[in-house]
Structure 1
Amino acid sequence: MKMETVRFKHERGVTLIGAGPVENTQVSTITGMADTVYCADGGLANALFEPHAVIGDLDSATEKMPFYQSVNKVLIHDQDRTDFEKTLATVTAQYYLCVGFTGGRMDHHLAAFNTVAKNPDKSIFLIEKNEFAFLWCDEFGELCLNLGIESPIGIFPTTRAMGESRGLRWNIDGLELAPDGRIATSNETDADQVVIKITTGKVLVILPIGQLSNVLKTLF
């Protein structure tokens, strides 16, 4: 099926809002970090102000939702992709802060992680109430973050992966990670700075939500 050309381009980050359960305070905090907002179809119900556009097959966005009448609508008929994927394909940005894509249903949660893993060329941050996750892979070099001592951190492989690390209580040097094998979740830092280098494959890095601003400043 023919893919849509990108319609919207931004030099900085944007917020994407999905239709999953999300608190207004969370949406307000995230849009404060990236105030250009796009909604994936039914995510329009979670918008606190009029988004730049609502994107998808538009079978969930209804006239009862806020801003429905006036918002820019991008209709994409494609049953092979989720509305999250359609939105990412339609918008290019420095990074994407994504809320409302992981809560409520386990299959939606897994689909969101799948979307992140399939798009290593896009800096996607999946955000929940207490944690966020982003992709890191062998093409990206070293990830150096000043998280402080005893910060929770998880590393979950989306493919078979190997790497090196410094500053973790349980470093990953020499370990072969796999989604159906060994993983490196429930870890924590034992130094102010953590350095992670993935030499093969791709992983999700999972951190407390309080570290999001810090990570964005470090990476961008």
Structure 2
Amino acid sequence: MNDPIVVSQEPVLLVGGAHGDNAQLLSLLDEVTTVVAADSGADWVRAVGRLPNALIGDFDSVSDETRAALPPETVHRIEEQDSTDFDKAIRSISAPMIIGIGFLGGQVDHLLAAMTVLARYPDRAIVLLGEHDVVAHLPPQIGLPLELGTRVSLYPMRPVTGISTGLHWPIDGLELSPGDRVGTSNRADGPVSLTLHGPGMLIILPVSERHGLQQALAQADGLWPAL
């Protein structure tokens, strides 16, 4: 990871440019003390009457008006074009957890790029929220306090095996991979536990499960090594 631009001992909110539900953003802004905007995510934060603590990106989409509204010391331009603004921000933040909003809506190519970045940082606890879903990269082991019938989708970004309890369709003995078998639209028969044999597995849950997922990630016994 680069020398971090933003350092926090608490979860950091990272706001992207795929603007969504203002009420959802305002609720998150009230939960955290440190807010980072990835490029035009700063426009969304400003549109709801707030300003981020830091702006990170290549600045190809953030408005001049928003940049001018921010103190110069909070504006951090990373000009290289080999990575997304989401990636630039992730590698510039040191925090126990990053909660991201504004990355799952908008263009499909941007969404796919965000999923790729999640898989690139298996050593980080990152939770992405949309209006309907919450997505995270799974650690080696996790327990989720889900209720009967909760939608659970597992999406591998590379070949992954593992074992499960509490899933209606267990993953034991299966190899999941993006080019073959995936685990979408499974469901919980009650609390779910997952043990993965390698990194690369994303979990997608209803956004109502966000707090439970965050708590489970915080309590997980270690993450994967950095790639």
Normalising to structure 2: TM-score of the pair? Answer: 0.89
Q: Give the 3-state SS of the residue equivalent to 1:167 in structure 2.
A: strand
Q: Give matches, 1:2-21, under 5 Å.
A: 4-21=2-19
CA deviation after TM superposition for structure 1 residue 15, in Å: 0.5
- Aligned pair partner of 1:118 in 117, 120, 123: 120
Q: Which AA in structure 1 matches 2:59?
A: L
Q: Give the 3-state SS of the residue equivalent to 1:54 in structure 2.
A: strand
Query: 1:118 and 1:57 mapped to 2: Cα distance?
Result: 20
* Equivalent residue pairs, number: 214
* Residue of structure 2 equivalent to 1:51: 52
Q: Give the 3-state SS of the residue equivalent to 1:189 in structure 2.
A: strand
CA deviation after TM superposition for structure 1 residue 13, in Å: 0.6
* Residue of structure 2 equivalent to 1:145: 144
CA deviation after TM superposition for structure 1 residue 129, in Å: 0.3
* Residue of structure 2 equivalent to 1:164: 163
Query: 2:60 and 2:154 mapped to 1: Cα distance?
Result: 36
Q: Give the 3-state SS of the residue equivalent to 1:101 in structure 2.
A: coil
- Aligned pair partner of 2:21 in 17, 23, 32: 23
Query: 1:200 and 1:210 mapped to 2: Cα distance?
Result: 27
State whether residues 154 and 187 of structure 1, in contact with CA within 8 Å, keep that contact through their aligned partners in structure 2: yes
Q: Give the 3-state SS of the residue equivalent to 1:147 in structure 2.
A: coil
Q: Give the 3-state SS of the residue equivalent to 2:175 in structure 1.
A: coil
* Residue of structure 1 equivalent to 2:69: 68
Change (3 A) 1:202 1:64: same
Q: Give the 3-state SS of the residue equivalent to 1:64 in structure 2.
A: helix
What do residues 168-219 of structure 1 show as CA deviations (whole Å, max 9, x unaligned)?
110101011100100111011012x111111234210111111111222233
Q: Which AA in structure 1 matches 2:186?
A: N
Identify the range of structure 1 (126-135 vs 140-149) with the bigger mean alpha-carbon deviation. Answer: 140-149
Query: 2:68 and 2:96 mapped to 1: Cα distance?
Result: 26
Q: Give matches, 1:63-142, under 5 Å.
A: 63-65=64-66, 68-70=69-71, 72-136=74-138, 140-142=139-141
Percent identity (aligned):
31
Q: Which runs of 4+ in 1 moved over 4 A?
A: none
State whether residues 44 and 65 of structure 1, in contact with CA within 8 Å, keep that contact through their aligned partners in structure 2: yes
CA deviation after TM superposition for structure 1 residue 102, in Å: 2.2
Identify the range of structure 1 (140-149 vs 8-17) with the bigger mean alpha-carbon deviation. Answer: 140-149
Query: 2:70 and 2:30 mapped to 1: Cα distance?
Result: 24
Identify the range of structure 1 (182-191 vs 56-65) with the bigger mean alpha-carbon deviation. Answer: 56-65
Q: Which AA in structure 1 matches 2:61?
A: S
What do residues 91-145 of structure 1 show as CA deviations (whole Å, max 9, x unaligned)?
1111111111121111101000001000111111111101111001xxx332111
Q: Which AA in structure 2 matches 1:150?
A: G
Q: Give the 3-state SS of the residue equivalent to 1:97 in structure 2.
A: strand
CA deviation after TM superposition for structure 1 residue 42, in Å: 0.9
* Residue of structure 2 equivalent to 1:209: 207
Query: 2:105 and 2:115 mapped to 1: Cα distance?
Result: 12
* Residue of structure 2 equivalent to 1:188: 187
